[in-house]
Copies of this chain bind each other. A is one copy, B any other.
Amino acid sequence: MHLDEPMGIFSKTCEYAMRAVFYIAQKSEEGQKVGIREIALHINSPEPFLAKILQKLSKDGLILSSKGPNGGFYVDSGGLQRPLADIVRAIEGDSIFTGCGMGLSYCSESNPCPLHEDFKKVRGQIVVMLQNTLIGKFNEGLIAGQLTLNK
C-alpha cells in the first residue's frame, strides 16, 4: 500500500469540504462572502475540485452562494448553528455513522463482527464529535489565528 499523502478516516472530498465550510463560516461571521479562488488558497485545495464540492453543498442547502461581483459563498446565522455532521453526511453518506468497522454489510447486535463492541464506541465518539461541532464553533479561534485550515 503506497502512500504519498496520508489517508485519514475521511475522504479528501470530505476533508476539503470541512475545511472550506469552516473558512466560509469565519468569513461570514466577518460579514463577507468569499470566492472559490480565495477559499482554495486558504485551505490548500485544488480550486476546480473544490468548486464541485461547494456546488454540491450549495445545492443541498448547506451553504449559500450568490453569483456576480461581490458574490461568493457564505452561510447565514442558521447555517452557523448546523453541525459539521451535516456536511460529512452530505459528502460521505451515512455509513460512517452506522456501518460496520470490518466491512460487513450490516452492523447488528444479533450478528456482530469481532470488533463490534469496540467499534460502536469509536463510531459513537465520531458522531459526538461531528454533532457537537457547530459550523461556527471555531470562528473566534480562526479569526485569532490560533487554528489552521491550510497545510
Residues of A within 8 A of B (CB): 1, 3, 5-13, 15-16, 18-19, 22, 56, 90-96, 98-106, 111-116, 118-119, 121-122, 125-126, 129, 132-133, 137-138, 141-142, 147-151
Contact = CB atoms under 8 A, between A and B. Distances in A.
Contact of A138 (B16, B114, B133, B148): B114
A122 B91 CA distance: 20
A15 B141 contact: no
Given A9-B96, A114-B142, A125-B125, 20 more contacts: A1-B91, A5-B105, A6-B98, A6-B99, A7-B11, A7-B93, A7-B95, A8-B103, A10-B102, A15-B103, A19-B103, A19-B113, A22-B114, A102-B149, A104-B148, A104-B151, A114-B137, A114-B149, A115-B129, A122-B122
A3 to B, nearest CB: 5
A3 B148 contact: no
Contacts of A150: 104
A126 B147 CA distance: 24
Contacts of A101: 8-10
B114 A122 contact: no
Contacts of A114: 22, 133, 137-138, 141-142, 147, 149
